[in-house]
């Protein structure tokens, strides 16, 4: 295994591999959302099963894979190394995607979505951890910004490829092929010198339960997770159900949720770039998070008041709304910078997956609130809760910009 302790360029192979790995990660996650309905129809399932039943089960199974995978890959990343996770996760989700393209029954589909979710769970956390540790503290914000910006653009690619190719099986083959190509690049990536130093020491590492044995450590971990809540509220509620929101507000024309997702993720891509650059210029992660959360609140208010708006105006707001939650780079970077080397991969891998895992709870809250309020009012109430909690977390969390990461957690 190659090692090197010299300062690395923000365009080194590790940054490129982590960026492309996250690109395929997002490509696969959004592709599943796009082709779920046509693929299940092709497998012969009735619409009732697609809307609920097997369709809902597929979503939950993939989420379960993400949650379990996040814990497993995080522990492996701290025990065996960041490169072990990059290699293993890329291989597993690539094989799962290719296998998914060959399924001819719902049971096979369910199996491979779980395996894909499990594999996808390790990519971002391992990549961000590796990039944070090999780059200097002055440059690592740019490195993680590149990873997030390139990665999130995978959503745009998924939407375009799905429309151009048409065949859902080929779309899965393309995703798997892209992942396997990454394995060739992975050979040139060097392991983090910080991890190599810890591996030769007697320090305990990779203990997931250690995050819960200290009140201070647990609260810090929880704050890291809660920072990502608004992103999944916006994407999972406002954008996924954009056709319903548009209908409630009498938006002119028909709104396609797939197009709304594409516009939103285009905004997230630009937002990730902007938030990453601002954090470097302002030398602060917290200030950028707070500014973007305020912008998110303002854009949600605009979104929920587009009564009678034209279609192009609605999609434009979806783009700007996406920009406002384009702090994924900052969010994951804060998680990686908040913990010592012996727990860093565990935290950086589980935090984004647990943030994703908040969506079912947010969805449940959204449904429950509708028993007493209108559809639009329910969206506003849940928005206040999600954004409010995230702002409290951002206000309370420590500033991590320029922090020396070469230290250990006492566990």
The model carries a pTM of: 0.86
Q: Do 53 and 159 belong together in one domain?
A: yes
212 within some domain: no
Contact between residue 341 and residue 407 where contact means Cβ atoms under 8 Å apart: yes
pLDDT at 52: 62
67 within some domain: yes
221 within some domain: no
Please report, to the nearest 10 degrees, the dihedral formed by the alpha carbons of residues 63, 64, 70, 76 taken in order. Answer: -140
257 within some domain: yes
Q: Do 174 and 246 belong together in one domain?
A: no
b/e burial code for range 69-79 (CB count within 10 A of at least 16 → b) = bbbbbbbbbbb
Q: Do 385 and 248 belong together in one domain?
A: yes
Q: Do 306 and 375 belong together in one domain?
A: yes
* Residues 42-75: tens digit of each pLDDT: 888 877 776 666 766 787 888 889 899 999 999 9
Contact between residue 256 and residue 243 where contact means Cβ atoms under 8 Å apart: yes
Q: Enumerate the β-bridge partners of residue 3.
A: 191
pLDDT, average across residues 118-122: 90
Contact between residue 129 and residue 336 where contact means Cβ atoms under 8 Å apart: yes
Is the per-residue pLDDT at 14 higher than 70?
A: yes
378 within some domain: yes
Q: How far apart are CA 26 and CA 154, in angstroms?
A: 5
Could you tell me the pLDDT band of residue 185, with boundaries at 50, 70 and 90? confident
pLDDT at 199: 82
pLDDT at 346: 93
The CATH number of the domain holding residue 19 is 1.20.1250.20
Is the per-residue pLDDT at 239 higher than 60?
A: yes
Q: How many CA atoms lie within 13 A of 363 on its CB side?
A: 15
Of the candidates 171, 187, 203, which is a domain's last residue? 187
Q: Do 40 and 120 belong together in one domain?
A: yes
Q: Do 242 and 388 belong together in one domain?
A: yes
Count structural domains, the chain. 2
Two tokens at 204? 């305990």
Q: Do 137 and 26 belong together in one domain?
A: yes
Of the candidates 158, 187, 216, which is a domain's last residue? 187
Of the candidates 187, 220, 251, which is a domain's last residue? 187
pLDDT, average across residues 10-21: 83
Domain around 281? 228-326+358-399
């Amino acid at each position: 295994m190659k090692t090197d302790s010299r300062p690395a360029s923000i365009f080194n192979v590790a940054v490129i591999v982590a960026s492309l790995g996250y690109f395929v990660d997002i490509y696969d996650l959004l592709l599943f959302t796009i082709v779920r309905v046509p693929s299940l129809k092709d497998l012969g399932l009735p619409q009732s099963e697609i809307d609920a039943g097997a369709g809902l089960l597929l979503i939950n199974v993939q989420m379960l894979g993400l949650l379990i995978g996040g814990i497993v890959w995080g522990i492996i990343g701290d025990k065996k190394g960041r490169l072990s996770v990059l290699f293993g996760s890329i291989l597993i989700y690539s094989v799962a995607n290719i296998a998914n393209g060959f399924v001819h029954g719902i049971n096979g589909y369910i199996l491979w979505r779980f395996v894909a979710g499990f594999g996808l769970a390790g990519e971002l956390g391992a990549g961000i951890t590796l990039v944070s540790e090999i780059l200097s503290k002055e440059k690592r914000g740019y490195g993680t910004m590149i990873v997030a910006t390139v990665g999130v653009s995978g959503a745009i690619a998924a939407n375009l490829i799905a429309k151009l190719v048409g065949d859902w099986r080929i779309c899965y083959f393309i995703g798997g092929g892209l992942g396997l190509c990454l394995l060739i690049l992975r050979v040139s990536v060097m392991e983090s010198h910080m991890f190599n130093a810890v591996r030769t020491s007697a320090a305990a590492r990779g203990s997931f339960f250690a995050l819960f044995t200290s009140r201070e450590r647990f609260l810090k971990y929880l704050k890291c997770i809660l920072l990502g809540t608004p992103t999944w509220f916006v994407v999972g509620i406002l954008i996924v159900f954009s056709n319903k929101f548009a209908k409630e507000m009498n938006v002119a024309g028909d709104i396609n949720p797939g197009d709304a997702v594409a516009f939103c993720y285009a905004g997230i891509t630009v937002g990730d770039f902007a938030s990453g650059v601002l954090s470097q210029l302002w030398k602060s992660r917290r200030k950028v998070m707070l500014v973007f959360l305020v912008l998110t609140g303002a854009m949600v208010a605009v979104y929920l008041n587009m009564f009678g708006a034209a279609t192009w105006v609605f999609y434009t707001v979806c783009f700007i709304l996406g920009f406002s939650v384009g702090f994924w780079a900052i969010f994951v970077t804060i998680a990686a910078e908040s913990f010592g080397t012996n727990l860093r991969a565990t935290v950086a891998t589980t935090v984004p997956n647990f943030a994703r895992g908040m969506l079912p709870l947010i969805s449940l809250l959204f449904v429950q609130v509708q028993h007493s309020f209108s559809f639009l009012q329910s969206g506003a109430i849940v928005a206040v809760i999600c954004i409010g909690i995230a702002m409290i977390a951002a206000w309370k969390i420590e500033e991590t910009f320029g922090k020396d990461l070469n230290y250990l957690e006492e566990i």
